[in-house]
Structure 1
């Protein structure tokens, strides 16, 4: 999630033409390590982590252009940016699975109970699927963020402004008719869920998702150099301050280690017997198809592409100095978390490398 430049402008990258190299389907652990090491090397970032789980067996490889930090790279928390939306989507699926809410709830009524829903209101389902008709960011975001554009633009746009911008906005498109990737929309969703449950966002996500899944190491606020990775600008040398998300917590606040992310993804691979099992299954189901031939498939929390062995689910994210890629393939019991401390602007090797790595397993 970046100001003015979403991780994938207009949505996820069109990677349908990406084809992995021909490799043997080996179970050999050495082959897996070599493949992960090659992926680390291909991403020219100060710190790189690729963590893979295959049928419950984990392999984590790290590296980077910078000297190793005092704390091993795999133990640091990384900013997930827009990949945080997978946690928000799972939370919404859980709240609907338990009957506390429904996807058809009008967001404006939850945020302002005195308001009438009106005809064709923006619902919680519209917000999580990017079909609300909202732009990527509020209209006045850029003016307010400009003084901190290269440091922490989101910090200048607090929660009350996000809600106010939503409630005051004039509709340009009927909800549910167009897909447009929107950090604004998912941020509004977070505030609507907070209002509906009378629970602050961090407490809500922790109590309903992170705690039950055993993700005690994940946080929503910056830590210290002993706990958090340091992001860098495009040059790979200039550090950037930790991300402060302002009122956009639901859209991009999560910080996590590679191992916590594997635990999160492994829960999606096999939810049997786990807390949130119904929600974990629900976020696999397609809810939206778009594009030529309906080739772009979306679930409540993930982008979905086909493979010969079954569907592949993935989501990426970027902040001013870091990037993340999360993905999993239930049919072959494989999950991947990729992390790096450099925000690319052009010729980005990170996303294609991570995508191809998961696709070829």
Structure 2
């Protein structure tokens, strides 16, 4: 009933799934105005996470650092183009700055908008490939000295992904799968569309279907697509690392399998700890990859995301052993109640 009432507050969407885990016991609510898929239920479709993908990128960085393969303070430019002269501020940007949105880079490269505007509602990233993202970074003039101000940046996290791929000499999709998806048994999660019928289709506000996401060179900032069940497994891994997962294995659930190595377990544990406070009286708190809000039940870590036709919300509360994954195939708007309603399920 709780999830059904929340779905009513969110309002109509072609597809909507609310997936809740409390101490390992999962409850899902699915609904939608579009006809249900013929070959699989809505909770088995893969949904585009948009910016919530950054939680996977941050976890990957933390794992590589925990394993001793990288340092948070490594300069990104040296990993991407060793010895190439760059602006002094660019040379000072570290992997830590990129993941915490303190690099001084803008939200998107200056040259992004002219190519994006003609397809803004359907595929704004498609014409901006990886090599162009890297070139834009190496030629950038940061607005602020690295480490001095917080400014949310898809550009920065996209650059981080390319730096991690360069540092490990591994393609980004292979690196994420090997270091995060496979160890956490996320077999229904990927960085690219799957076979026909596997992925949910996004929709504009008028119900028009949009193409599957083409994220161009911004994969680290928004390429992940996943099923609600895999998303709960991902969140339960964070709860387990904080000691808040009981793992009841209730009927119909997929019990979380602990990570097989200490580096990933340590990286997951790090995700809950604040690394940055900002705003008036430092009321806005951030962990390495999550926004963190206080609640009557303890801190809540969360991240939302949107693509041209879909929305996603991921969050977990260690003190209550609760995790929530919410997805819908409706384009976001300024007054959309989706994120606020999902957030409320964790904090109320």
Give the TM-score of the pair, scaled to structure 2: 0.91
Alpha-carbon contact 1:41-1:64 (below 8 Å) kept = no
Alpha-carbon contact 1:40-1:64 (below 8 Å) kept = no
Tell me the residue number matched to 2:247.
none
Alpha-carbon contact 2:271-2:289 (below 8 Å) kept = yes
Tell me the residue number matched to 1:221.
192
Q: CA RMSD in A?
A: 1.4
Distance 2:174 2:83 in 1: 26
Matched, 1:247 2:217: yes
Count residues with an aligned counterpart. Answer: 326
Matched, 1:137 2:108: yes
User: Cα offset for 1:358?
Assistant: 1.3
User: Cα offset for 1:258?
Assistant: 0.1
Tell me the residue number matched to 1:85.
54
User: Cα offset for 1:149?
Assistant: 2.1
- Which structure 2 segments of 5+ residues have no match? 244-257
Alpha-carbon contact 2:102-2:149 (below 8 Å) kept = yes
Tell me the residue number matched to 1:308.
296
User: Cα offset for 1:224?
Assistant: 4.0
- Which structure 1 segments of 5+ residues have no match? 1-33
Structure 2 residue corresponding to 1:160, chosen from 131, 149, 153: 131
Matched, 1:336 2:324: yes
Instruction: Within 5 Å, give how 1:196-275 maps onto structure 2.
Output: 196-235=167-206, 237-271=207-241, 274-275=259-260
Deviates more, 1:217-226 or 1:201-210: 217-226
Distance 1:137 1:108 in 2: 18
The residue matched to 2:184 in structure 1 has which SS? coil
Distance 2:237 2:85 in 1: 39
Distance 1:51 1:352 in 2: 16
Distance 1:334 1:48 in 2: 20
Matched, 1:100 2:73: no
Alpha-carbon contact 2:106-2:142 (below 8 Å) kept = no
Give the TM-score of the pair, scaled to structure 1: 0.88
Matched, 1:67 2:35: yes
CA deviation string 1:312-354 (max 9, x = no partner)? 0000000000000000011111000000000121320101110
Distance 1:308 1:349 in 2: 22
Alpha-carbon contact 1:145-1:153 (below 8 Å) kept = yes
Distance 1:64 1:303 in 2: 29
Distance 2:272 2:85 in 1: 33
Distance 2:323 2:111 in 1: 39
